Amino acid sequence: HTLIFHRAFDELDSPCDALELLHERGWNGILTTGADHGDAAVEGLRSLLDCAGDRMDIVGSGGIRKGNVAEVLAETGLREVHFRAPLGNTDLTDPQMVTDTVKAVRL
């Protein structure tokens, strides 16, 4: 089974220490912005990837959309991201936004 720790991780003071603790307790990955704010932080994500090595997956999040997903992946070295694709002001998903974001990654 895969256990991914949610973005509550972004509120912790010592990310690398917390990553070690989660790994020891059987977590496989962390969903994070790499910082304690809403947007993906390139430096923080890179740092977490260094701490994690190949022991845990780091799933980047935070304002990732078609216009920045390729750049975030390239600048951080992430292999996985999580993003929202809101349909207007609803809780529904915009299928075109999903398609466009996936295309941006595969270019």
User: Is the whole model's pTM more than 0.75, yes or no?
Assistant: yes
> Binning pLDDT at 50, 70 and 90, where does residue 24 land?
very high
Residue whose structure tokens are 């990310």: 15
Looking at residue 36, its pLDDT comes to 73
What confidence tens digit (pLDDT) does each residue in 28-73 have? 999 999 987 789 999 999 999 999 999 999 999 999 999 999 999 9
Q: Where are the beta strands (DSSP E) in the chain?
A: 4-5, 29-32, 57-60, 80-81
Q: What is the pLDDT of residues 1-13, one digit of tens each?
A: 899 999 999 998 8
| Percent of the chain residues topping a pLDDT of 70 | 100
What is the rounded CA–CA span in Å between residue 18 and residue 77? 21
